[in-house]
Amino acid sequence: MAVKNAQLINGDYIQMHSMIQGAVMNMLKMAKMYAVREPQNMFHGLVNPDYLKTYCKQHSVDAIRPDIMTHGHLTKQRNGRYVEKRRIYEVNTMRFDTRGTIYSGGKPTKKAVEKRVMTSTAKY
C-alpha cells in the first residue's frame, strides 16, 4: 500500500521495498528472533556458491524470491519430538502501474494486483 500511495517509479520501487524489508527485520529484532535478509545471505554456506550466484543474477526486480529467513521455530514432528526449523518469508510488494500493463502483458483485463496474486500463487 505504501508503494501504491507513493506512486514510485523505477529505482524508487527498489528503495521502498528495501525500507519495508528493514521495517519487518526491526519487528523481528524486537521480538528477539534471529533473521537474515536477502538470498545471498540466507543461503550462504547452505548452497553451492556457483548455484547461489547464478540464482541471484537471473532473477529480475519483479521476481518472486525470498526476502527474510528466521531461525529457531519449534516445530512438532510426527514422532512427538520438537525440532528447531527455519522459515522463509517474502515481503510481497509490487510496482504500481496505473495502466495495468506490467503484470497484464499489454492488454489489461485484470488489475496488476490481481495478476500479481495469480503469478505469486503459481510460482510458490
pLDDT of residue 30: 92
CB 59, CB 69: distance < 8 Å: no
**Composition of the chain by helix, strand, coil, percent to 5:** 40, 20, 40
* Alpha-carbon torsion (97, 99, 103, 106), positive or negative: negative
- DSSP, res 110: S
On average, the pLDDT of the chain sits at: 76
Kindly report, residue by residue over 74-114, the tens digit of the pLDDT: 889 999 999 999 888 887 766 555 555 555 555 556 666 67
Reported pTM: 0.60
Confidence of residue 26 (pLDDT cuts 50, 70, 90): very high
